[in-house]
Amino acid sequence: MSSINSVKICFVCLGNICRSPLAQGVFETLMTKENFQDLVHIESAGTGNWHVGKPPDKRMQTTAGKNGVTMNSRARQFQPEDFDRFDLVIAMDQANLMDLSALCPPSIAEKKLRLFRSFDPENLSAKPLDVPDPYYGGDEGFDNVFNIVHRTSPKILEFIKTNYLNT
Ligand code: 4NP
């Protein structure tokens, strides 16, 4: 009988009120649909602390809701010890990735830290791409974040299945 491991992942953006909680909600919805909810533990966090304790941004919640995704998180700031708690830490943009790299040794960054759009099936260039920060823009920025996160999440699940779960 093959053993099945579980995996803990954390999505990280700047404020933890738009992009990373959306990624958390979309991924939770996908895990439930695929019946992986007991094997994959999902959280999100921000590199900054301005919004700690707050629910997700209303505009992001509206975009998520109209696509059937509920967002239940409260903002928290990523702590260096979180690298011990999580198997995989996924940064939404390159600034987040750099800030997170500064919180752990290079060996841990290499093993656990990834850029969200490195999994994007529509990122066909070798260039690293960001999930753009929608906070100071219009509604179309929130729709764009949803589209990127929605098409990329199944690719992240494939990566998790291959590298962490004996499925
Ligand atoms: P997030 O968006 O990093 O996707 O949660 C932001 C939220 C708040 C701010 C910036 C980005 N802010 O400057 O307060």
Beta carbons within 8 Å of 33's beta carbon, 6+ residues apart: none
pLDDT value of residue 2: 44
pLDDT band at 4 (very low <50, low <70, confident <90, very high): low
pLDDT value of residue 46: 99
pLDDT value of residue 125: 80
Q: Which of 18, 19, 82, 87 is catalytic?
A: 19
Residue range(s) defining the domain that contains residue 106: 7-163
Would you say the pTM of this structure is higher than 0.75?
yes
Cα pseudo-dihedral 118, 88, 64, 38, rounded to 10: 130
The preferred substitution site among 17, 61, 148 for testing ligand 1, maximizing ligand atoms within 8 Å of CB, is 17
**Domain count of the fold of the chain:** 1
Share of the chain above pLDDT 90, in %: 92
- Which letter does DSSP use for residue 123 in this model? -
Stretch 31-52: mean pLDDT: 97
CB distance 11 to 86 below 8 Å: no
| 82 in any annotated domain | yes
Q: Which of 10, 13, 18, 104 is catalytic?
A: 13
- 3-state secondary structure labels for all residues of 31-87: HHHCCCCCCEEEEEEECCCCCCCCCCCHHHHHHHHHCCCCCCCCCCECCCCHHHHCC
- Asked whether 17 lines ligand 1 (CB < 6 A), one says yes
Span from the CA of 15 to the centroid of ligand 1 (angstroms): 4
Q: Which two tokens stand for residue 37?
A: 């909810």
| 2 in any annotated domain | no
> What CATH code is carried by the domain that includes residue 75?
3.40.50.2300
CB distance 47 to 93 below 8 Å: no
Rounded to whole angstroms, the Cα distance separating 21 from 19 reads 6
| 18 in any annotated domain | yes
- Low-confidence winner among 87-91, 102-106, 162-166 (lowest mean pLDDT): 162-166
Instruction: List pLDDT tens digits, range 129-162.
Output: 999 999 999 999 999 999 999 999 999 999 999 9
| 1 in any annotated domain | no
| 101 in any annotated domain | yes
Residue 5 has pLDDT above 90, yes or no: no
Cα pseudo-dihedral 83, 88, 90, 95, rounded to 10: 40
